[in-house]
């Protein structure tokens, strides 16, 4: 079975939160921007990169819609069970 990857950037609502950005900086970390997410998507050969926020529901429906669409579009072809003699 073929493995399909989608990269999901979560906690989109925290990207512009000064408190969170400061806390991450204190730990030597940064918020991932869209360009970095796309770069990682390409590196891991994922089919999509989608950012979302469970807190604000931003793009949540898109995450699930795209996951279903990706699975359905990459579904293996069924072989015919009928044989001609």
Q: What's the half-sphere exposure (Cβ side, CA atoms, 13 Å) at 30?
A: 5
Q: For residues 54, 59, 63 and 65, what is the CA-based torsion angle, rounded to 10 degrees?
A: 130
- Residue 57 above 70 pLDDT? yes
- Residue 2 above 70 pLDDT? no
Q: Phi-psi region for residue 15, left (φ > 0), alpha (ψ -120 to 50) or beta? A: alpha
Domains annotated on the chain, with CATH: 6-73 (3.40.50.300)
* Mean pLDDT in residue range 36-47: 92
Residues 6 or more apart from 63 whose CB is under 8 A from it?
A: 8, 50, 52
- Residue 85 above 70 pLDDT? no
* Mean pLDDT in residue range 61-70: 91
- Residue 17 above 80 pLDDT? yes
pTM of the model: 0.70
């Amino acid at each position: 079975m073929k493995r399909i990857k989608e990269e999901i950037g979560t906690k989109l609502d925290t990207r512009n939160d000064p408190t969170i950005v400061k806390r991450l900086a204190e730990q030597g970390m940064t918020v991932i921007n869209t360009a970095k997410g796309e770069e990682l998507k390409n590196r891991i050969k994922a089919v999509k990169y989608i950012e979302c926020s469970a807190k604000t529901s931003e793009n949540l429906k898109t995450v699930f819609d795209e996951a279903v669409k990706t699975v359905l579009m990459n579904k293996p072809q069924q072989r015919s069970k009928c044989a001609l003699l």
